[in-house]
Amino acid sequence: MKDAGVQQTILDTTVLHQNIALSMSEILTQHSTLFIKSYGRATESTAEFRGTSPSHTQVLWNGMKINSPMLGTVDFSTIPSYFIDNVRLLHGASSLTVTDGGMGGAVDMQTLPLFNQGYAVQYIQGIGSYSTYDQFLRFTYGGERWSTSTRVVYSTSKNDFKYTNYDKIDHPVEYNKSGYFDDVHAMQDVYYNSQKAGRFGAKLWFTHSLRGLPFLSVDYKDNTDFKNEHKQDALRGVLSWDKSLEKWSFGARAGYVWQNIAYDYTTTREMVNTDITHSRSISHQGYFQVNADWMPRSNWLLTANASVYYNHVKSEDKSPFHVGENYDLGRAEYNLNFSAKYRPMKDLTLSAVLREGCYKNDFVPVVPAFFVEYQMPGISTPSMEGGCGRLFVFKASVARNYRYPTMDDMYFKPGGNPNLKPEQGFTYDGGIEGFLQTRAFSMRLNLSAFDSYITDWILWTPNAKGYWQPSNLKKVHNYGTEMMVTAEYKLRNHWRFTLMGNYAYTPSINKSDQLADNDASYGKQLVYVPCHSANVNGRVSWRTWSLSYQWTYYSERFTTTSNEVSYITGRLKPYYMNDITVEKTFQWRKVHASLKGVVNNLLGSEYVTVLSRPMPGRNFEIFLEIKPQW
Amino acid sequence: MLLLALVLMAACSNSEAVIEPEGSGPISPTNPVVDGGVLILCEGSFNAGNSSLSYYNPVDKTVENGVFRRINDAKLGDVGQSICIFDGTIYIAVENSGVIWALDEKTFKVKGRLTATADNNIINPRYIHKVYKDKAYVTDLYSPYINIFDPQTMQYKGSIKVDGITMNDYSSTEEMVQFGRYVFVNCWSYCNKLLVIDSEKDELVNTIELSSWQPKSMAIDAAGKLWVITDGGYKMEGEGFGDNIPHLYRINALTQRIELDIPLCTDEANVQLAINGAGEVLYILDNDVYRMNISDETFPTEPFIKAPVTNGKRNFLYGLGVNPQNDEVYVADAIDYCQSGMVYRYSASGELLDQFRVGITPNHFAFCKKSEAEMEDDVEEDLVYSPALVDTVFEFMPAPGHQVNGYSLVGDFIFAGATMQEACQRALKHFRKKYMISLGAQGGYVVAGFKHNVRNSQGDYDLVIKGNPFDYQSEPGIIWVMKDENGDGLPNDTWYELRGSEYGTENHTLNYAITYYKPTGPEKNIEWTDNQGGGGIVPYMKTWNQHPSYWQDWVPTDRDAQGREYRTYYGSRLKDTHTYENYYTMEPPFAWGYADNWGSDYFKNRKFDADMAMGYYKISNAMTATGEPANLDYINFVKIQTAQTGWSPNLGEISTEVYGIWDYHLK
């Protein structure tokens, strides 16, 4: 009932914990309809839901928003997939059940306790192409009341892959310059389950990331002479309390995020040091939230929650356009949320959500959302274990949404525009979800269509002085369909086949007023948003062996707002990616182990996902996993 | 289900069929030089590597995009900042790629490149300026150096340190213009200065501080004035520098002093300067495009070309270029910086001639043109046959000087290697196009004739001679006339000097003879002696002309007792009146009566040519050798000779320039 009418995709640990070298960026690319715009291996990767922009994807970690208060985005390449145990992708209006501002949707990431599982140690060593080393160590303990988990991942790579540089004369074979990375992540979580007082949780996640920023394929500079580096230190912590009673449940959360980001692009010439870019930003985010659910009757559920975030950002930079402090400011954000869910008859659930947000002293209009879910009568519900059945569920929703400008949008010097209005969205969607289960076969299908409009879309454009300024420029019409299918077929002789596929059709059309009579961008697809995206993951396992094949596709993406087809740089070719993984597990008395071999880019495609950012060709990594048993 | 998805995908992705990359193979037509083609550099989006080069043919109004890519099968790079053409080569500085390209002007094929390496001081190259054929400067957004390279070989040659010139550790250097040996450089980022570089020593010799911030663009005019526009920096709450107000400056390039400072009434403007081919009309991009004469002291109130307004917002014009050959104005509109930009082409009078799409963010223009030598070989139809113009050049005998074998700033040694006969034909062609010839130092002369009789109107003007004088820079020439008394059509009768304001005064020497000694090696000063016991040199000045010898090839020589080759020129002399102080040369005019002299008889004459200042002279001033009025009823031949002997360290020798000789009565 809680998720009535909600369009969501769940990614569980079988998807998330494929191999330790993967970040959330790759997981979302391969297993969802989100478009990941990646600047390269282990470089910035942002997620776009339903043809919107990265800042329209709200990202939560254990209930706390972790979008950068400066940019409004999240770099998914800095989130190791092994640190996340469950992900809910909330499409479109469904994101309003957890947060506002997700004009495209929300990614809700959770770490989960492991009660009653005893002690466990897991170590994974990965060795791959381009001097890549991935190490992962995890200790877990799950008792009746306590659960604790400590995870550390350390990844390094020279990442100096070879590629044929078609952008230079005579197409030389070059190495990816300055692409190295050196990332450490550590996460500790502790849960305590008290039958009386409820469940307490504490999660702490530390990141230290040092990454070279690769040179463009059209860069002729001698890289030995330049340092182009991005450093990020981050600490995120959340304390949680949840208590369930017969008709009530309560929860409270408090969190803190500290981030220190440095970006340096420098060179030294005859003892004279020159900063091309020198940028620093330190942000602190405090978070507090309380929630209560009340179920006065079995067909009513009322929920309320109140949250407050306080963001403080100190941002400085040095460039030919600006030297000094960009801003040093704090901003509080308050949010109130009420929802009512009502089931007037057995097969029908109605739900309404109201949200009110306030940023500093600026109230955003009330956000309403309505959901309806109808279950086709007369079809038996499949049971979870081995039973047979069919189920069809219809879902629909309609919602208004707002996204308040980020701190950079409003305060960045030079350019920030304090008079920006919040972006407004209006969206409705509908779909059908079906389940089919027999003894050997199970299938789950989800088909939805959506239509949404975003107005006052904030866009940064260059001004006369050479720096960029944001304004409420754009109107965008996003519409399309999303499909998801998972199927599993088990045979008696230990064979098991699983298939998971996603497809999205997401036209995202600019409907802004023309900037000028010669503006050819009206009615055109937004830049870097593919019209079609699809992926298929097939897996075959037999006894201790398994083979999985991953196919990912994005249709061509335009690089100009006028969707120029006459330029060679006007669009990126359709992207097809094939990866293959073979795994063998061993179960000995004292130790369980597995050996996994991965071939990425099996067909050795030469491609870019962003102009002038070459991507690696066929590459390999081997993983050895050891789990001592006692 | 998946099948359905795949079918849907196939249905929607029909775009493969319309992929037509910019095309391939050679662009059409194949000779941009002949058509006076226009190159448009499109900056592209920062960090996208989609800078591109577009080519526009103004003759048949066609445009070819992605030219660099199509010809060279490689991308131009990231942030194409500037483009220029000299000596048959196109140079493009691609800032964020750290590369300077050299392309053949006719084929657009890459001839060479210079890149930022650990061995040089190039970081992000911005603008290129030719100093000599084998020496060019390149400015840089980040490097604390202006770099020097050989544009013929693209070899790095060194650098000029400009560290610490600007604020906040940046040493941003931008555009360059040259006057004499001095190269002016504007410093844009966080700066309010211009730098003055001595191009012979490759040294920073002066800085000029402006009253407003961020000089963005410069031009040098025909009167030797440097025009500079600033964007005004920016002003904002709590910080900032500058007041956001662009200023337009006029600076005397000789004295390096600011003469005029006009604050513009705009805020948040993209500013740019361009100048027409004659260097007399200035075009200013300041949201709209304004036009002003170089003699104007105030900024025009009405724009020359108004930026179009759509939905209450003015189009954001990003680039400006003026074709020096026909003064057509090209304006670039970047629209949203993320789509194919638009270029508008206007006639010299501001009429829209064409508009076309180019690459992303068009910002800079370059104009292909024939070299001087190619222009000389032009078809006859380019020439203007005026019945008033002289019909024949009989003798062209320049004395030594830095403009003899050709003029470095034009690029080709147009008179090098010519015979006297060829030189005379070329000189006549020059007159037919109102191009100049230089007579070299004192005594150098040209003899030209009319097939008809130029009558003496007895008091009104009879002859018209165009030069290039200014009130501070006159290089007077004495005018002689001859009547074809024997009727053979040849200048073999008697020369009569036209009396000028100095005739018969102490400033005037009759029966003057000067002897020049042909140099024995390359790059040498040329020595002279005269029949008054004087002597001196004509200096060799590589800045102005890199030809190894300033002795004109066809000038015949005699040999003296020591075996030295020499040539003696006979005529009259005017006193050398020039002064040189603080890098400033002053060459004052005489009152009247001389060619290439800013006297009372040099003006725009409604009766003959209302648009162009010229000199007007009277046959009634013709004097006999004994100082009596010659009373000629008509004349047929004219001789003009350089009158003064001086030279200055920045401008070289005084030499009369002649652009044509006409009969005033035959307009």
Residue A434 lies in a domain: yes
* pTM, rounded to two decimals: 0.83
Residue A134 lies in a domain: yes
Type of residue found at B10:
A
What confidence category does residue A321 fall into, taking pLDDT thresholds of 50, 70 and 90? confident
pLDDT at B405 over 80: no
The domain of A265 spans 8-628
What confidence category does residue A9 fall into, taking pLDDT thresholds of 50, 70 and 90? very high
Q: Give the pLDDT confidence score for residue B7 in this predicted structure.
A: 43
Q: Give the pLDDT confidence score for residue A480 in this predicted structure.
A: 96
How does pLDDT run across B242-276, given as a tens digit for each residue? 778 899 999 998 889 999 999 998 777 789 999 99
Q: Worst-scoring range by mean pLDDT, B11-15, B37-41, B75-79? A: B11-15
Pairing type for strands A105-110 and A57-61 reads parallel
Residues of chain B in contact with residue A561, where contact means CB-CB under 8 angstroms, are 336, 338-339
Question: Between chains, do B339 and A561 touch, taking CB under 8 Å as contact?
Answer: yes
Contact A437, A415 (CB under 8 A): no
Per-residue H/E/C for A279-294: EEEEEEEEEEEEEEEE
Instruction: Measure in Å the smallest separation between the Cα of A583 and chain B Cα atoms.
Output: 26
Q: Give the pLDDT confidence score for residue B367 in this predicted structure.
A: 93
Q: Give the pLDDT confidence score for residue B378 in this predicted structure.
A: 53
Which residue among B1, B311, B360 places its CB closest to the CB of A485? B1
Average pLDDT over residues A426-455: 93
pLDDT at B667 over 80: no
| Angstrom distance (rounded) from CA B535 to CA A191 | 104
Question: Between chains, do B73 and A501 touch, taking CB under 8 Å as contact?
Answer: no
Average pLDDT over residues A228-251: 95
| Angstrom distance (rounded) from CA A357 to CA B133 | 67
Q: Which tokens sit at A179?
A: 């692409």
Compare all CA atoms of chain B with the CA of A466 and give the residue at the minimum distance: B270
**How confident is the prediction for chain B on average, in pLDDT?**
87
CB atoms within 10 A of CB A508: 26
- Comparing A162 with A318, which gets the higher pLDDT? A162
Eight-class DSSP state of B590:
P
pLDDT at B284 over 80: yes
Residues of chain A in contact with residue B214, where contact means CB-CB under 8 angstroms, are 465
Type of residue found at A42:
A
How many Cα neighbours within 13 Å face the side chain of A535?
A: 19
How does pLDDT run across A465-491, given as a tens digit for each residue? 777 889 898 899 999 999 999 999 998
Angle at the Cα of A125 (from A121 to A131), degrees rounded to 5? Answer: 160
What confidence category does residue B5 fall into, taking pLDDT thresholds of 50, 70 and 90? very low
Contact B541, B131 (CB under 8 A): no
Average pLDDT over residues B590-596: 96
Q: Give the pLDDT confidence score for residue B14 in this predicted structure.
A: 36
pLDDT at B383 over 70: no
Residue A3 lies in a domain: no
Q: Give the pLDDT confidence score for residue A259 in this predicted structure.
A: 96
Q: Worst-scoring range by mean pLDDT, A318-327, A476-485, B3-12, B350-359? A: B3-12
Q: Give the pLDDT confidence score for residue A101 in this predicted structure.
A: 92
**With the CA atoms of B234, B237, B240 and B242 taken in that order, what torsion angle do they form, in degrees rounded to the nearest 10?**
50
How does pLDDT run across A169-223, given as a tens digit for each residue? 999 999 999 999 999 999 999 999 998 899 999 999 999 999 999 999 999 998 7
Average pLDDT over residues B431-447: 90
Residue A442 lies in a domain: yes
Percent of chain A scored above 90 by pLDDT?
77
Residue B17 sits at φ, ψ, to 5 deg, of -65, -30
pLDDT at A274 over 50: yes
What confidence category does residue B456 fall into, taking pLDDT thresholds of 50, 70 and 90? very high
Number of domains in chain A: 1
How does pLDDT run across B100-132, given as a tens digit for each residue? 999 998 889 999 999 998 889 999 999 999 988
| Angstrom distance (rounded) from CA A402 to CA A419 | 16
**With the CA atoms of A28, A33, A39 and A42 taken in that order, what torsion angle do they form, in degrees rounded to the nearest 10?**
10
Residues of chain A in contact with residue B19, where contact means CB-CB under 8 angstroms, are 565
Between the CA of residue A450 and those of A423, B147, B260, what are the distances in Å? Answer: 19, 57, 63
| Angstrom distance (rounded) from CA A133 to CA A127 | 5
| Angstrom distance (rounded) from CA B125 to CA B45 | 17
> Chain B within 8 Å of A445 (Cβ-Cβ)?
yes
> Chain B within 8 Å of A218 (Cβ-Cβ)?
yes
Question: Between chains, do B75 and A218 touch, taking CB under 8 Å as contact?
Answer: yes
> Chain A within 8 Å of B12 (Cβ-Cβ)?
yes
Residues of chain A in contact with residue B287, where contact means CB-CB under 8 angstroms, are 464
CB atoms within 10 A of CB A610: 21
Residue A450 lies in a domain: yes
Q: Could you tell me if residue B73 is left (phi over 0), alpha (psi between -120 and 50 degrees) or otherwise beta?
A: left
What confidence category does residue B327 fall into, taking pLDDT thresholds of 50, 70 and 90? very high
What confidence category does residue B19 fall into, taking pLDDT thresholds of 50, 70 and 90? very low
Contact A487, A498 (CB under 8 A): yes
> Chain A within 8 Å of B486 (Cβ-Cβ)?
no
Average pLDDT over residues B437-457: 94
How does pLDDT run across A16-43, given as a tens digit for each residue? 988 888 999 999 999 999 999 888 888 8
Q: Give the pLDDT confidence score for residue A450 in this predicted structure.
A: 96
What confidence category does residue B30 fall into, taking pLDDT thresholds of 50, 70 and 90? low
What confidence category does residue B384 fall into, taking pLDDT thresholds of 50, 70 and 90? confident
pLDDT at A140 over 90: yes
Average pLDDT over residues B439-454: 94
Contact A387, A437 (CB under 8 A): yes
- Comparing A254 with B627, which gets the higher pLDDT? A254
Supply the DSSP string of B277-335, one letter for each residue: TTS-EEEEEESEEEEEETT--S--SS-SBPPPEETTEE--EEEEEE-TTT--EEEEE-T
Q: Sheet holding B340-346: strands in order across?
A: B317-322, B329-333, B340-346, B352-360
CATH number of the domain encompassing residue A66: 2.40.170.20
ipTM exceeding 0.85, yes/no: yes
Residue A549 lies in a domain: yes
Contacts of B271 (CB under 8 A, 6+ apart): A464, B216, B217, B229, B230, B231, B246, B264, B284, B285, B286
**With the CA atoms of A38, A40, A41 and A45 taken in that order, what torsion angle do they form, in degrees rounded to the nearest 10?**
-20
Residue A117 lies in a domain: yes
Contact A73, A67 (CB under 8 A): yes
> Chain A within 8 Å of B113 (Cβ-Cβ)?
yes
pLDDT at A348 over 90: yes
Average pLDDT over residues B462-481: 92
**How confident is the prediction for chain A on average, in pLDDT?**
92
How does pLDDT run across B493-536, given as a tens digit for each residue? 999 999 999 999 999 999 999 999 999 888 899 999 999 999 99
Residue A120 lies in a domain: yes
Q: Give the pLDDT confidence score for residue B309 in this predicted structure.
A: 79
